[in-house]
Amino acid sequence: MRRILLCILILAMSAPWAGCQLAYFFTDPDKGRPVQAEYNKIGKRRVAVLVWADRTTLDIDPKARRRVCDAITYELKKHLPDAKLIPSREVQAFQEDSGLDWESMRAGELCKQLKCDMVLRVDLLEYTTRAAATKELRRGRVRGTVNLYECGEGAMTEAVYETEIVANFPTDRQSSINDLSDGELMREAVAQFGQATAKKFYDHEESLRGPERR
């Protein structure tokens, strides 16, 4: 009898922890909950994804802007088939070959140059394979602000949507990365950044286990 009471006491004390753990492990990862787009008015408009990066980032990876632009453009085109996405090569040519000071241009001027209706500007704040707190740890990390601007007559000068996106690879739930190069780590982090950014603009599902910790 004493042994039974002891078991009941142990179970009662560990119930909150056990409940959370059991809920996680018995949740079907294939099932999801619907999540509405935070901005759902892109429609059939022409959109240019314009990525800014500081000189330090470009010295480390001269193609950083192109990689992030490609990732976001790919995901938007995949999930918003009615939207017209300006090819990343055209955006890159404008940034590098036009000779214009595009960084100081207003959204309306950018739209005229890129022949689009909306500009999705991404400013990269972090682009690294080293953890901020512990530099010796390897982890792909991309963090940036995202601002969507409308163009045309009567359009606001302020962004119609803005947020900040962070993507890490590996996340806490992913396996060891000892066999991956820094380039592979960044490629995965950039892909996840592209996915997370695009999801702000279309309805989708998220795992019942909740978003992965970063």
Query: What is the CATH classification number for the domain harbouring 138?
Result: 3.40.50
pLDDT tens digits for 6-40? 554 444 454 444 444 444 444 455 567 899 999 99
pLDDT confidence of residue 181: 85
The residue range of the domain holding 129 is: 42-206
pLDDT tens digits for 75-93? 999 999 999 999 999 999 9
Distance CA 84, CA 88 (A): 12
- Residues in Cβ contact with 53 at an 8 Å cutoff, skipping those fewer than 6 apart: 64, 65, 124, 127
Q: Is residue 156 part of a domain?
A: yes
Q: Is residue 9 part of a domain?
A: no
pLDDT confidence of residue 127: 96
Q: Is residue 15 part of a domain?
A: no
The CA–CA distances, whole Å, from 119 to 129, 159, 166, 190 equal 28, 9, 20, 20
Q: Is residue 131 part of a domain?
A: yes
Q: Report which of 42, 147, 47 is spatially closest to residue 87, judged by C-alpha positions.
A: 47
Percent of the chain with pLDDT over 90: 62
Split at pLDDT 50, 70, 90, the class of 138 is confident
Split at pLDDT 50, 70, 90, the class of 177 is low
Distance CA 139, CA 117 (A): 36
Q: How many domains does the chain have?
A: 1
pLDDT confidence of residue 170: 85
Q: Is residue 122 part of a domain?
A: yes
pLDDT confidence of residue 104: 93
pLDDT confidence of residue 17: 42
Q: What phi, psi does 163 have (nearest 5°)? A: -160, 180
Q: What is the mean pLDDT of the chain?
A: 83
Q: Is the pLDDT at 198 greater than 60, yes or no?
A: yes
Distance CA 157, CA 126 (A): 26
pLDDT confidence of residue 31: 64
Q: Is residue 92 part of a domain?
A: yes
Q: Is residue 161 part of a domain?
A: yes
Q: Is residue 23 part of a domain?
A: no
Q: Is the pLDDT at 139 greater than 90, yes or no?
A: no
pLDDT confidence of residue 117: 96
